[in-house]
Amino acid sequence: MKADSLQTCIDKFKSRDAVIGIVGLGYVGLPLMLRYNAIGFCVLGIDIDTSKVEKLNAGRSYIEHIASEHVAKARDSGFEATTDFRRAAECDALILCVPTPLNKYREPDMSFVINTTDAIKPYLRAGQVVSLESTTYPGTTEEELLPRVQESGLTVGRDIFLVYSPEREDPGNPNFETRTIPKVIGGHTPACLQVGIALYEQAIDQVVPVSSTKAAELTKLLENIHRAVNIGLVNEMKIVADRMGIDIFEVVDAAATKPFGFTAYYPGPGLGGHCIPIDPFYLTWKAREYGLHTRFIELSGEINKAMPEYVVGKLMDGLNENGRALKGSRVLVLGIAYKKNVDDMRESPSVEIMELLEAKGALVAYSDPHVPVFPKMREHHFELSSEALTAENLASFDAVVLATDHDRFDYQLIQSSARLVVDSRGKYRTPAANVIKA
């Protein structure tokens, strides 16, 4: 593609005449679709999940914090979803928003990225930009996408453009939206970066260009490793404080009054979500290729991974104090989403707590106003529905474990009705006979 053709491609985004293709319509892809649709772009959504596609084409959302009325409005103004990857040829931009989980060996599972790239590969053409948003290890764009994109004879940086721009969604956070979260972009070539900027600056208030796709990939990992390490630190501090009879939440609150040099992180029952429990392992895996052992990162991962067992241990101690064994006890887990006020259950430590309890012979139930029925998950299987939080029902359980602190829970009712409360979120600051901090 010549320089004038490059400018034509850029102008197409600036004039908003381009067709935007979003591949993967989950917690990242769906908000991005809504944003591009809202500013006048023609948007095509592509997903392998037939049920998702059918719901979106009917104007219905399947994510709690995204209202169906927004999806219906997008559908009425031209958005369409499909499972037909051949339609990738219609798109001027293809933005890949697919999962990057870990396999059973805690190594990166790149199958979703690779399979998606292979699925669109036959339909790539000159004048398109391909952007990967999935969190991954440095080098993925160059090692996995670049050769596949160029297989048909297209030259990246001249005929077709390749960028990496990591997602920064925070589901359920009312203080930020897709438009207001700055967007990091790295291009394979300077021309790729120019096109990537033209693509994203229409939809995002601030675009942050970096020198390469590798730099952009490592930026995303640093953001999430920063959080994972600091959460690991405060989780370890929680254990130390507990042995010393000190309330770690009081300590963090007090430390947070320092106006410089300290950022407050709070302990919990473990890490959840699509990023923080997973992303550090992407870097540790890739670092081995360079003969490096990321001990600091791996240690924080071990600490965070051990938190569900710590919570279960505290529950067992509390039951023992009441003359009961965990085996045969009825235990209610409060909140199974990975964080409060959302329905997102990816990598939720609550589910791991449920599995540990079940393995030890407890009779497990849950209550979560955002998850009325336990969903089908790749690795976890419970045939359960959310329990009603009434005084009578709470009193029928031997213990309740507060795993996710949703605002919709009636905490006063829980404390006054439950025989034993194991609080992993610091909701109960005043000491009480039936509350154990975990």
Other C-beta atoms lying within 10 Å of the C-beta of residue 82:
17
Could you read off the pLDDT of 233-255 as tens digits, one per residue? Answer: 999 999 999 999 999 999 999 99
Beta bridge partners of 401: 333, 422
Q: Which residues contact 292 (CB under 8 A, 6 or more apart)?
A: none
What local confidence, expressed as pLDDT, does residue 378 receive? 67
Q: What pLDDT was estimated at residue 54?
A: 97
pLDDT at 3: 61
Q: What is the pLDDT of residue 280?
A: 83
Q: Residues in the chain with pLDDT < 50?
A: none
Task: Write down all domains in the chain, each with its CATH number in brackets.
Answer: 3-216 (3.40.50.720), 306-437 (3.40.50.720)
**Strand 421-423's sheet: what is its strand order?**
363-367, 330-334, 399-402, 421-423, 435-437
Structure tokens at 249: 């939440």
* Maximum alpha-carbon separation in the chain: 80
275 is a catalytic site residue: yes
What pTM was estimated for this model as a whole?
A: 0.91
d(CA 266, CA 116) in angstroms, rounded, equals 37
